[in-house]
Amino acid sequence: MSTDPYKLAGARARGFTLVEVIVTVAIVAILAAVALPSYRDHVRTSRRSEAQAYLMNVAARQQQFLIDSRSYAAALGTIGIAMPTNVNAAYNVTLVTAGGPPPTFTLSATPKPGTDQVEEKCGVLTINQTGAKTASLTSCW
């Protein structure tokens, strides 16, 4: 006589019950519901950090441009710093200059409408020729 449980008469088939599968799916769904908002917040914070780094680089280049030509560059393309892809996808970056005296500039990074970045708590990031940084919250810079 065979000792294989699948061949024995009246033996119960092995596998997962419907209840076990439903409980497992429910646990995975709860974990995903908790983890997804945290992940999205982390991605938004990462994009904000990239935008801040870009603004700082452009501001530093503007200072060098002022030393070289006695005025600030009026367009971002003149500065010669390529905008990172993630920054371009999430923010509209603008440069506003004034001839002065003294000459001034303000760089702004505004979250693009229709992107997840509009949910970022810091809102519009700005920096000017004095290095003054502003955002909706003081802890953003």
Does 7 reside within a domain? no
Return the pLDDT at 137: 87
Q: Domain total for the chain?
A: 1
Report how far residue 20's alpha carbon sits from residue 63's, in angstroms, rounded to the nearest whole number: 65
Cβ(90)–Cβ(51) under 8 Å? yes
As given in the structure block, the two tokens for residue 79 are: 């500065």
13: pLDDT strictly greater than 90: no
140: pLDDT strictly greater than 80: yes
Return the pLDDT at 4: 61
Quote the radius of gyration of the chain (alpha carbons, Å).
Answer: 28
Percent of the chain with pLDDT over 90: 61
Does 4 reside within a domain? no
Return the pLDDT at 52: 94
Does 24 reside within a domain? yes
Whether the model clears a pTM of 0.85, i.e. scores above it, the answer is no
Does 9 reside within a domain? no
77: pLDDT strictly greater than 70: yes
Return the pLDDT at 95: 93
Does 75 reside within a domain? yes
61: pLDDT strictly greater than 80: yes
Return the pLDDT at 7: 59
Cβ(66)–Cβ(103) under 8 Å? yes
- Helix/strand/coil for 65: helix
56: pLDDT strictly greater than 90: yes
Judged by average pLDDT, the poorest of 17-21, 22-26, 100-104 is 100-104
Range of the domain at 60: 18-140
Does 54 reside within a domain? yes
Does 53 reside within a domain? yes
Report how far residue 81's alpha carbon sits from residue 58's, in angstroms, rounded to the nearest whole number: 7
Q: What share of the chain is helix, strand, coil (3-state, %, to 5)?
A: 50, 15, 35
Does 3 reside within a domain? no
Percent of the chain with pLDDT over 70: 91
| Spatial CB neighbours of 91, under 8 Å, sequence gap ≥ 6 | 47, 51, 109, 110, 111, 112, 117, 125
12 vs 123: which has the higher pLDDT: 123
